[in-house]
Each structure stands twice: as C-alpha cells, then as structure tokens.
Structure 1
Amino acid sequence: MTAPMYVPHFFVRQKITLMVNRYQIFAANPDGTEGELLAFAQQKRMAFKEQVTFYSDESKSRPVFSFRARQRLDVHAEHDVYDQDGVELGYFRKAFGASLVRSTWHLSAGGIDAVGQERRLSVAILRRVWDFIPFLGDIWVPFVFHFDFTDSATGSPVLISERRKSIRDRYSVTVSDPRLDFRVAASMAVALDALQSR
C-alpha cells in the first residue's frame, strides 16, 4: 500500500543562521537535479523541547507538518510526526546505547518498523575520536556520513540519506518503501542533521 504522500527521491539543504537552523526540501528532477521546493523547515536552537515545523514555502504562512519531542532534554526522547491538522503520522527515536559507537535510529510509520544506522563504522568511530582530541575537537571537519534504514522484519531498504560533499549540509534522500509518507521521511531526514549530535 502506497502512502498518501509518497516521494521516492528528494534533497535536503541546510541554511545556517544565528538563532535557527533552516532546511529546504526539494523534489528531485528525473535527471537528478534539484526541482521544486516541497517544504521549508525551521528549528530553534537550544530549545528545551525539540520541535521543527515544516511550511509550504519560506514565507512560513502555511504550516504543513511538524515533528516534536515527547520529553524535554532527553537523549532517549521519541519524536512524533504530525500532519497540518495535528494527526500523528509516525514517530522516530535515537537508540542512545547503540549510538555510542554507531548512530542508530528507530523509525515507525505506515506499518513500517525500521532501524537506521550510519553506513560506515570507520567514519562513525573517527567522528567520535575527533571530538575527544583536545586540539582537534575545535576544528570543523565536514565528515561525509550516510544512513541506511531497513525494515526490521524483512531487512529490505526503507530510506537512505546520503550527505553530499559540500561546506553546507546537503543530503540526497531515497525512499525505497512506498508505505513511508513523505512527511515522515522528510522529518527523519532533517532530524538526522538537526538532532544527530544530541
């Protein structure tokens, strides 16, 4: 069964500002280039209870979906995804214990229960070591890391988020399972950037 809003491929681009993180979600054209703007998201930094709202465009006049944490300042916090009317579409959470070595997320929506991990264990370990070395931790390095989500029951691919090599964070997102609604997929893709270091 196909989700009400299924988008098989899209791009996420981060825009950094002083007080907020902003994300543009673009459709993918058939030739692999960025197409129309599908959504615009904004995340306040240092919020006690994480919430990201997605709008139809950068005017922020019409909210179309969102995700927010159930708890405040909790590394185990589950994040629920809602449509524009406040109806829950799914949820995701970071697996804190497993993420100590390799970032791991759980995603549930539309009959899917999936687990996502950093693709390369070597990059995951290097990122952690880099943060602990005093004179290197302050040097910003754009580590290229990817996440692969697979169905917990079948092992089949559900969602792939691949970071592109660039100064600003840019991601190519492929949704292999048509049961996964675009709004949940976009929320998860943005969370992989916005919440990854939490």
Structure 2
Amino acid sequence: MDSGRLQQIRTFHLRQRVTFMVNRYEIRADDGRGGEGELVAFAQQKRVALKEQVTLYADADKTQPVAGFRARKVVDLASGYDVTDAAGAPIGFFRKDFRKSLTRSTWHLEQPGQPAAVGHERSKPIALLRRLWEFIPFIENVPFFFPYHFDFAVDGQVVLSVEKKFALRDRYVITVHDDRLDRRVVFAQAVALDALQGR
C-alpha cells in the first residue's frame, strides 16, 4: 500500500502471533466494518536481544522494509527508541517513563516538527491489577489477557489510541485521531506497547 493511501486510514488492527524464538506482529487496515482487512505492516521481534531492534515490513515475506525502531542503548531502556524509515532516516522517537510507569505505564511519543504526545493506560484500576497479577503465585505464568487501553494526548487532546481486546492472544485496535501522525511511527509505537511492555 502506498504511503499516501496509508496516511488516510485511521483504524488498524494489530495481532501478535507467538512462535518459539520470535514474536510476530501483523498490522492490518480496518475493512470498514470493524474487521481486519489488507495487511499493511509485518514485524518480527526476537525474544532474546541485548539491544532491541525491530523492522517493519510491508509484507509477511519481509521483502519490503518500511520502517523500524532501535534502542539507543543496550542497558538503559529509559534512553528511548529511534524510529527510522526504510532508508534509515529518523522519522520519530519514543521512550517509556519508568518512574511514572511504576503505577501506570506511560510513554512519550515524538515526531519531527510536531508536539510530543504523552500516552498512558486509560484505567488506573486495570493498571494496578496488571501489576498485582505478576505476584499472584498460582497465575504467575498466565498472561494478563484482560483488555487495557493506551491514550496518547497532546495538550489534553487524544491523538492516538491503542486498545487491547479481550483475547487469549494479544490483539489491539489502533485508532489515529490526528492525521499528522506518521502511520509508520504509530505502528512502531503500537508494536512496542506489546513487545516492550514488561521491560
């Protein structure tokens, strides 16, 4: 799908597919009826990586890279992640605010020439439940599958929402409320919300 047409789409579906050594992510355009339509991005994340790097492709065969994100440092995850286009040119940046994330996950999303957006979990009770979930002995290895939502806002105005749906496998609906957001940056941040959430 060409970039001009991609920028016109406001709703996407992200689905995680788990394999032995990697997590795979498929992002599809909404089909206009609330279902999954055309594949617009495919990403793959290695589960064990000292320096996180994820490439997004236009196809599941990984023949056409469109963007990617990479950690700035190996150990200091708070330093953030650079988002680049297929040629390696910077198109965005995001980082997790670890202090604020102790009670409710908080991210900062930036794009050149645009005001920075701050994203956090919409529900404080669900955020606290997710943290308590990890300390319950008999379910410690059971994934937290209840829905949770992230809203990214600029000056109180929501520009991007990522909503996890009730499912055993991670599935999200991405809604772009501001047309200025580069969809490639949106996809990178959405994948990171799942892939890096526990770090």
Q: Identify whether the pair has TM-score above 0.5, normalized to the shorter chain.
A: yes
TM range (shorter): over 0.9
CA shift, 1:138, in A, is: 2.8
Q: 1:28 aligns with which of 24, 27, 30?
A: 30
Question: Does the residue aligned with 1:125 lie in a helix, a strand or coil?
Answer: helix
Percent identical among aligned pairs is 52
CA shift, 1:117, in A, is: 0.5
Equivalent AA in structure 2 for residue 48 of structure 1: L
| In structure 2, C-alpha distance between the alignment counterparts of 1:187 and 1:22, rounded to whole Å | 13
Contact 2:29/2:40 (<8 A) preserved: yes
CA-to-partner distance for each residue in 1:2-37, whole Å, 9 max, x for gaps? x96523111100010010110001001222211100
Contact 1:49/1:68 (<8 A) preserved: yes
Structure 1 stretch displaced more, 135-144 or 106-115? 135-144
Q: 1:78 aligns with which of 71, 77, 80?
A: 80
Cα RMSD (Å): 1.4
Instruction: Give 2:39's aligned residue.
Output: 37
TM-score normalised by L of structure 2:
0.93
Q: How does 1:1-198 map to 2 (within 5 A)?
A: 6=7, 7-110=9-112, 111-151=114-154, 154-198=155-199
- Which residues of structure 2 form unaligned runs of 5+? none
Structure 1 stretch displaced more, 124-133 or 10-19? 124-133
TM-score normalised by L of structure 1:
0.93
CA-to-partner distance for each residue in 1:30-54, whole Å, 9 max, x for gaps? 2221110001101111100001101
Contact 2:11/2:174 (<8 A) preserved: yes
Structure 1 stretch displaced more, 26-35 or 113-122? 26-35
- Which residues of structure 1 form unaligned runs of 5+? none
